A and B are shown apart, each in its own frame.
Chain A
Amino acid sequence: MNSGKIAMGVFWASGLITLAILVIVIGHILLNGMGMISIEFLLDSPRALGREGGIFPTIIGTIALVVVALVIATPIGVGGAIYLAEYTHRGTITKIIRAGAECLAGIPSILFGLFGFAFFVIFLGFGWSILSGGLTVACMILPMILRTTEEALKAVPNSYREGSLSLGATKWQTTQNVVLKSAAAGIFTGIILGAGKVAGETAAIMLTAGTALRLPTSLFDSVRPMSFHLYILAMEGLSMERAYGTAAVLVITVLIINSTTTLIMRYYTRALRG
């Protein structure tokens, strides 16, 4: 057999191994976890530290953190991207900002956690709370929203802008009514991906949002999101079935997020083609 045939065999095998890994990881979690998922599991409060009952407060915890993070990171990220894409030409400042955002995107989540703990929890005195956790993860997803929005804005054809400007609209009116509308699907995709990242985040949140298992009533309450609940259930051996159930809910969340973004982009490219 010649080296070409061997190489082709190796490539085929690598593709299949990758597919097999995916099927095993996802399949194992879903097969063992789906049986656990029920209305009671999703809407019940945990009892005995999570050994019994459901995961309702942790779902609320995850949603609360996602909402706070998006409310903070979306306007800043989108605004920054508008500045980079619409209001400035390639210059030193934009280069520095892009390099900074790239750096920020590469920082490990545990370092965001350290920072959030020292700055939001202790220095600003927010304590272990939804607010501290949400602000910390907002910093994490900021570069992501910035980059996806900037790319979406760049994809808008220049003729749209010129058409609007030539009708007498100001720069901001053009941006608001023409450019942002055309780029909406791309921006929305970035925001959903940011939400997905927050929903799965654990390390940064465990240092900033605390571990409370009750339902939060204010932004200053501590919460435990699903991801951290899964960690505690599994590491302390409290309940493996409930850990599988929580893991399955997390995987399904990612599945929903991925298919939503795919659908949006497919619809969007079709609309662009006319």
Chain B
Amino acid sequence: MSMEKEIHTVSVYVSNKPGALARIAQVFSRRGYNIESLVVSPAFDGHFSRMTIGCSGSADGLDQIIKQVDKLVDVLRCIDHTNDGSVVKEMGLIKLEVSSDARSEALQIAEHYGCKTIDLTDQSMIIQVVGNPDKIDALEKMIGKFRIVELVRTGKVVMSRGNECT
């Protein structure tokens, strides 16, 4: 049994019903799994919702959780996308304290990561980054030489490639 903690990406396709999120969250918490990130939004068909759940824990435990989520009455499917090559994206907003003389360096780093500057004042700026979570982690590290006042990440969303279902 592998007890090693891994970061997993799980997608859930679920009927848009009250309580559905609570039921799913309960399966994770009952098994002592911490949900690291959670994104819920309406699916293309508005009767359903898409969830992407980032969580950490042993792979064995997750297998059991996925089966238990999958059997919930409201859940159409629950899939573990960990290491399956799916597209995983996230957006982050970072508010920096930057004085005008340091601004050009900050912008240089932001540009390298393909960020957009979406707010700018004399003493601060907000940059927006989109990419896989590793990229945002890396930016966080680089831009950390300036004072990060606030950082908000959306949590990752996942989509399978080709004809595979999410």
Q: Do the two shown chains form a genuine complex with each other? A: no
Interface residues, chain B, with chain A CB atoms under 8 Å away: none
Interface residues, chain A, with chain B CB atoms under 8 Å away: none
